[in-house]
Amino acid sequence: MPRSRAYEETVKLHGALRAAWLGLALLLLAQAGYMGWRFYLASLGPVGCDWRPGATVGGVAVLLFALYAAFGALRIRVDEERLRVGFGPFGTTVAASSIERAEPCSYSKAAYGGWGVRGGFDGTLAYTVLGDGGRGVRVQYRNKKGRRRMLLMSSAHPDELSGALSG
């Protein structure tokens, strides 16, 4: 099925969750800086100091920033050849020729056990994000073995996304 146009969307985490995540990382980074400065001053004295607690807290803060950068947004890309949806480097690619239908839908997080990459009880693979209002696009396609599969994606613009997928 030829696609009428390319489409690209980034669905970010809900603002409050994003602020809490980054706030925690900044707090840990500030704490690591404070601990590092305090341990540096202590090392000037007659007894050496242990730098590992500050480095550990700083390492956790850097890890939180890296996780947020990689997995903080769901990226959806549609072109003439494929649909690509995923968080960071991980995701699913579906050949455009194997897509049978795409339609806007509403979903419940309870049906998929929360947000993120989840499997539904009906066999649907869901890529969902907190704060999307339960709106998304359900795509039916056939995998390489010819089996019918379902894919659900959060979307801020489900009508536009389903239009790009339907052609």
Q: How many CB atoms are closer than 10 A to CB 162?
A: 21
* pLDDT averaged over every residue in the chain: 81
Phi, psi of 34 (to 5 degrees): -65, -45
- Tell me the C-alpha distance between 10 and 32, whole Å: 32
Q: Is residue 42 scored above 70 in pLDDT?
A: no
| pLDDT above 90 as % of the chain | 34
Q: Are 154 and 116 in contact (CB under 8 A)?
A: no
Higher per-residue confidence, 137 vs 133: 137
Which region among 14-28, 29-43, 102-116 has the lowest average model confidence (pLDDT)?
Answer: 29-43
- Tell me the C-alpha distance between 73 and 67, whole Å: 11
- Tell me the C-alpha distance between 112 and 151, whole Å: 12
What's the pLDDT tens digit per position in 57-76?
777 777 877 877 777 788 99
Mean pLDDT, rounded, for 105-118: 87
